Amino acid sequence: MTITVGILSGKGGVGKTSTAVNMAAALNHFGRDVIVMDGNLSTPNLGLHLGVPVVPITLHDVLKGKNSILDSVYLHHTGLKIVPAGLSLDDLRNVSPEKLKSVLPSLSGLTDVVLIDGSAGLGRESLAIMDAVDEIVIVTNPELPAVTDALKTIRLAEEVGKKVKGVILTKSGEEHDIPIENIEGLLEKPILGIVPFDKYMRKSLIRREPVVFSYPKSKSAVAYKKIVADLAGINYSEKAEGKVGAFFRNLSRR
């Protein structure tokens, strides 16, 4: 069974794309087959993060009915399977985000999980992803504007009947951070993991690779692997890493 997961945030710049990419890389690390898709149709970043800004067939082409979703899946040199969106302004014309729900079933049974990197905010694209996926993970920073927008995103997801699995806090460690227990109390969702400020995140972005792949023992890489391992219900350590077991069964619980 293929599980689809939307990676969403209320605010831009919180590390949502990095989280989608590195969760996918962590899943690959634990031996799972995963596709990461750029659901941000207005300002896509997935291809830029991975060094493939231009590809022959994009998600925009799929949503316009020009190609099958299978035609838009590419194998990155890190082992990730990716579906980039188009960068051209022409790609935005006559594209319907709502069609995502009808094209995703074509991937069912072909991969273990599809992670969809959503657009920031609560617009049409985010709503289309909420409608199309099985589960939602929220990404935010431990600062008031980002947490406030995360709360709005959670409330909207619940209004449309979608389960929010939990929250990932990124760029943690600054003096202005809101205490973790306060964030958890405000959002009323479990904190799935905390990703600290880490110079290797920047270095991996320059290399156009997930930090889990480029610097697997860095603090941020270990944090992402721990997040995936905890969702999987397995024991994890840097020296002796387990295999993913119940991750997708856990995600599919209502």
> Which residues 6+ apart lie within 8 Å of 14 measured at CB?
120, 139, 140, 141, 146, 170, 171
Is residue 64's pLDDT more than 70? yes
pLDDT at 252: 40
pLDDT per position as a tens digit, 135-177: 999 999 999 999 999 999 999 999 999 999 999 999 888 666 7
Percent residues over pLDDT 70 in the chain:
91
Is residue 237's pLDDT more than 90? no
pLDDT per position as a tens digit, 65-75: 999 999 999 99
Residue 151 structural domain: 3-251
| Count of structural domains, the chain | 1
Read off the CATH number of the domain in which 242 is found: 3.40.50.300
Q: Indicate the average pLDDT of the chain.
A: 90
pLDDT per position as a tens digit, 9-54: 999 999 999 999 999 999 999 888 999 999 999 999 999 999 999 9
pLDDT at 235: 74
Over range 109-130, report the average pLDDT. Answer: 94
pLDDT at 158: 95
Over range 232-248, report the average pLDDT. Answer: 55
pLDDT at 176: 62
pLDDT at 236: 77
Percent residues over pLDDT 90 in the chain:
79
Is residue 254's pLDDT more than 80? no
Is residue 81's pLDDT more than 50? yes
pLDDT at 174: 65
Over range 223-248, report the average pLDDT. Answer: 68
pLDDT at 247: 42
